Amino acid sequence: MSVKQDLNLLMEMLAALPDPVFVLTESGRYVALIGGHDARYYHDGSHLVDFTLHDVMPKEKADWFLHEIRRAIETEGLHTVEYALGSKDLKGSEDISGPAEELWFEGRIQPISSLVKGERAVVWVARNITERHQMQAELRRLSEQDELTGIYNRRKLMEELEEKFAEFKRYHHATSLMIFDLDHFKSINDRFGHIAGDKVLRIVTRLCAAQLREQDLFCRYGGEEFAVLLPNTSLKDAGRLAERLRRCIGEHDLQGLLGENACVTLSAGVSTIRVSDSDIEQLISRSDNALYKAKEKGRNRVVIEE
């Protein structure tokens, strides 16, 4: 086989690579693109050659790519990243063939030893991992979601509590926790059955969720017990919210489900993170204690633990 034939074969092999391979310089210029021609998985990037990242992407996105390129060059080794990229992130995307939705990629970035057009450069191999990312996201959602009510579960609450506790220790943003349960819920299950009890839990969930802010974390804590993590919320404001939820649930008519004049009430305990707290267990314990006091005082009430 002649040198020309060898070269032609090499170019044909490179062009047939299933994943796109970019050559990018330290300044963010696209020098070459090889492979990745399947429009089901990749956008057509042939027009990018000789343009820079900032020519074709929003500044924030371009800055990120540039940072990762320079990081790989400085460490002089393989650097791997994951990132999202959609046609909306590329200027002139209306003329680009390929998937319309946002895609997820694994980027494998390897520095090139020789200068390219007078600059240090990298080879950036982009592999479409959208399906894997979506599967991981779904598994994560299922692990964090209560099956009956659709809201978050106790596991998610504990994770978020740890994060908010760390933020409080650094920034001292007021963060409160409300724990409430439905009064005499066992009697509902005993009298009307567990199917009716499950419907009540879903109704309560819907009513409470409508009263909460987007940033509030609403969880089923266990059985008929719920918790609401309230970031950037003082103890006083958390107490007001708890009272609003108590009235909302108590005033809701469940006659169609449980019979004439039927209603459900709740008891709630509220506390807030203190500077003296060493862990989230102290916050949870205070909220729990406040809830027990609400029950001892006759139920259908809110107790705030200072």
Instruction: Give the separation between CA 169 and CA 165, rounded to whole angstroms.
Output: 6
Instruction: Give the separation between CA 217 and CA 45, rounded to whole angstroms.
Output: 41
Handedness of CA 273, 277, 278, 281 (dihedral sign): negative
Tracing tokens 């995307």 back to the chain, one arrives at 93
Asked if residue 55 lies in contact with residue 91, where contact means CB atoms within 8 angstroms, the answer is yes
Asked if residue 224 lies in contact with residue 267, where contact means CB atoms within 8 angstroms, the answer is no
Radius of gyration of the chain (CA): 28
Indicate which residue of 26, 68, 224, 305 is catalytic. Answer: 224
Handedness of CA 181, 182, 185, 188 (dihedral sign): negative
Query: Is 224 designated active site?
Result: yes
Active site residues: 224
